[in-house]
Structure 1
Amino acid sequence: MSVRSPGDWPILVISVIGSILLVEVARRVLNRVGRKWALARHLVEHCTWAAFSVAAVVAFNVAFQPGMFGDSASDRSVAGTVERILGLVTIIAVTWLIVQATYALTDVVLDRLVLVEGERNRRARRIMTQIALVRRIAAAGIIVIAVGAMLFSFPQVRALGAGLLASAGIAGAVVGIAAQPTIGNVLAGLQLAFSDALRLDDVVVVEDEWGRIEELTLTYVVIRLWDERRLVLPVSYFTQNPFENWTRHGSRVLAVVYLRVDWSVPVPKLRDGLYEFLQANPLWDQKDWTLQVTDVLPNGLVELRALMSAADAPSSWDLKCDVREFLVDFVRDNYPDSLPRFRVETPESRLGVPDNK
């Protein structure tokens, strides 16, 4: 049995403060090293407060003695309660630190993948999506294990273990039926990530809305729309409904502009002007382009389609707007007679009678 000493509490306080100071020194060192070492920078960003809490709790555990409260029955009861709380807090702090360290390690990889451009960008985004989902699964697993360890630190819970195991089959069936939508979403999330059907930063059209995949979790997908709104859909939506993925096999996108004009429009002149404009536009990737007469409309107008390629979806949208503006100005300024017009045939015009109005 330990005997209470007047110096026990100061030693405990000094131990806790000393451990916190050691972590602070380590943080400052890693902060300097982090200018050149990415892992050190991410460890500081994610693990600082978790490391402080672990250091304080561990130091408290090492320096704490049950006899510090006294030797009476009530004092021993209080000491036992404190020890149990310390055990729970230690599990929480260590779990927090492990999860944050996991995120710091994976962020190093994600940072490198974000910088990948060109043809390898699609593969990099697929790996980013998978890493993001796997680390969420790992974090959830670590937390579940920690909660189990906390529960089994109570003798009453351990005593109920046999009964819980005996009824695990029935409980599992009930929970499985109740959680069927959630489980379906989780499985759908894994299916999307590892089947390469959807990746972070993919350009998609969903529910007639155009946007990019901003976040992909095990239960929901966040799409950042073109006007900065966010469309949040369950993961199962993408396994049960059709959607457009413009960057499924690459980031290049074709921009299309339609122009309805009069029959008198000189298409070769318009085609030459478009090519000259595209050559001077930095949004064009210098690969594909064309201008074709695609239809004659029932209202008597001719439909022209301008097609040009861009490196990605945002560039495609801006290029499309630029080309449309150029074509409108080009026809208006150079060939005003080719602007859209509607012809009406009257009995007088059919007979060649001049209109005196």
Structure 2
Amino acid sequence: MLAFLPLDFLPEALRPWFVLAVAMVLAIVVALVIHRIGFLILRRITAPRPYLHAVVVGACTASQFVVALLALRVVLTGTPEDMPYTRGMSYFVTVLLILCVTWLANSSIKSLSDAAIRLNPYDVADNLLARRKLTQTRVLARSAHAIVLLLGLSFVLLTLPGARQLGASLLASAGVAGLVAGIAARPVLGNFIAGLQIAFSQPIRIDDVLIVNGEWGRVEEITGTFVVVRIWDERRMIVPLQWFIENPFENWTHRTASLLGTVFLWLDFSVPLEPVRKEFERLCKASPLWDTRVAAVQVTDTSDRAMQVRFLISAANSGNAFELRCLVREGLIAFIAAHHAEGLPRIRANVEGESTNPPPPRVVPV
């Protein structure tokens, strides 16, 4: 190896190490040059394809370490077997190579997920498809990161002779033997499997509006073990992933964000409904919160004292529906108070057995 080098100035014991060091440096330089050329070519080829381009750019640093360590591994493979310490160096380089390959895989996953999130913004009006892709990307990316880390650690342990049994056990836990170990780790595995179910079946997505245990909130984050629900008053509810698989809940934006809202008023029987209906329609048309789909007035119930009138309205999302309900309620109460003050519920009573004549004067003896 590198026999053309003049080594007469070195002691006999140092000459193999000098040759090895020069070979390793040259191998790293050649590997990095090839990597640079390949990176420039791939970056140009994948420019029209945003996902592949993001992976190529995001994995550049990690791939540099991988090719450099591969070059070192090739050089160490060609060293004489009787050369001391090279076996330990080979093990060390192999472990570093496995760790860098794990880093490369995680960098590729992260770049791919970031590109998917960037190319599908969900801060738009019609964001159902974007939220579906965002949820799948985040959940699957976290699961992939965990699997890659587990495999990387397992292969590192398999490389070391003293820890080979432990590495084999870790690999087995990722396969069929994991079902046995899963009895003890049921909550962890249950949440992991629930995360995969949520990613594919998608009962919830990022930014979905939910009713969980009577609380209204939006899905703020989906992690590998729990869901963060941002409640309307800025509190955060932490719910395990498995809960959404095993319990019923309301999802107001599962198919579409548009909703129907209702306003109920109890009115006296003497209130004419036609003027109230016209005022209701005027309030809806005057508000930009109304999406023009539904505006209806119906008497839905009666009692011995009043009638219940339901005002049905539609809005593009739950926030607009709530604001529109409040606006319509305030406007109708003001209209009825101004034009039909007697129309609010009253209690009628007839008192019998009392005479309207004044009582006779009382005679007091002197």
The TM-score bracket by the shorter chain reads 0.7 to 0.9
Which blocks of at least 5 consecutive residues in structure 1 are unaligned? 67-72
Is the contact between residue 299 and residue 310 of structure 2 (CA under 8 Å) also seen in structure 1?
Answer: yes
Q: Which amino acid aligns with 1:295?
A: D
Could you say if the C-alpha distance between residues 190 and 256 of structure 1 is closer, same or farther in structure 2, counting changes exceeding 3 Å? same
Per-residue deviation, 1:233: 1.1
Paired position in structure 1 for 2:340 = 335
2:232 pairs, out of 226, 236, 240, with 226
Q: Which residue of 2 aligns with 1:205?
A: 211
Question: How far does residue 115 in structure 1 lie from its aligned partner after superposition?
Answer: 5.5
Larger radius of gyration: 2
Decide whether the 8 Å contact of 1:253 with 1:310 is kept in 2. Answer: yes
Structure 2 partner of 1:345: 349
Q: State the SS of the aligned residue for 2:329.
A: helix
Q: Structure 2 counterpart of 1:318, which letter? A: E
2:242 aligned to 233, 236, 242, which one?
236
Question: Could you state the TM-score of these two structures normalised by the residue count of structure 2?
Answer: 0.71
Cα distance in 1, alignment partners of residues 171 and 290 from structure 2? 65
Taking the TM superposition and a 5 Å limit, the aligned residue runs for 1:86-125 are: 86-114=93-121, 121-125=127-131
1:188-213 deviation digits (Å, cap 9, x = unpaired): 33333333433332221110011122
The residue type equivalent to 1:331 in the other structure is: I
> Which residue among 51, 59, 64 is the counterpart of 1:55?
64
Identity percentage over the alignment?
A: 35
Per-residue deviation, 1:57: 7.2
Does structure 1 conserve the Cα–Cα contact (< 8 Å) formed by 2:62 and 2:103? no
Question: Mapping of 1:155-304 within 5 angstroms?
Answer: 155-158=161-164, 172=178, 174-297=180-303, 300-304=305-309
Measured after TM superposition, the shift of residue 264 of structure 1 is: 3.4
In 2 relative to 1, CA 132–173 (structure 1 residues): closer, same or farther, beyond 3 Å?
closer
Matches within 5 A, 1:4-153: 4-5=17-18, 47=58, 51-52=60-61, 55=64, 59=68, 62=71, 84-114=91-121, 121-153=127-159
Q: Describe the SS at the equivalent of 2:203.
A: coil
Distance, in Å, in 2 between the alignment partners of 1:343 and 1:353 is 26
1:54–1:90 CA contact under 8 A, matched in 2:
no
User: Does the 8 A contact of 2:135 with 2:222 survive in 1?
Assistant: yes
3-state SS in 2 of match to 1:228: coil
Does the 8 Å contact 1:214/1:223 carry over to 2?
yes
Verify the 8 A CA contact 2:289 2:320 in the aligned structure 1: yes
> How large is the RMSD of aligned CA atoms in angstroms?
4.8
Q: Distance in 1 between matches of 2:316 and 2:174?
A: 55
CA distance in 2, matches of 1:170, 1:258: 58
CA distance in 2, matches of 1:263, 1:223: 44
- How far apart are the structure 2 equivalents of 1:204 and 1:170? 36
- Aligned-partner SS, 1:233: strand
Q: Residues of 1 paired with 2:169 and 2:246: CA distance? A: 40
- Report the 3-state secondary structure (helix = DSSP H, G, I; strand = E; otherwise coil) of the residue aligned with 1:254: strand
Q: RCO greater where, 1 or 2, for CA within 8 Å and sep 6 or more? A: 1
- Which amino acid in 1 is paired with 2:114? D
CA distance in 1, matches of 2:124, 2:171: 52
- Report SS of the residue matched to 2:120: helix
Partner Cα separation in structure 1 for residue 170 and residue 152 of structure 2? 18
Task: Tell which deviates more after alignment, 160-169 or 343-352.
Answer: 160-169
The alignment of Structure 1 onto Structure 2 pairs a total of residues equal to: 339
Deviation at 1:217, TM superposition (A): 4.0
* 1:57–1:86 CA contact under 8 A, matched in 2: no
TM-score (norm 1): 0.72
Question: Offset of 1:307 from its aligned partner?
Answer: 1.0
- Stretches of structure 2 that go unaligned for 5 or more consecutive residues are 2-14, 77-82, 359-366
**SS of alignment partner, residue 177 of structure 1:** coil
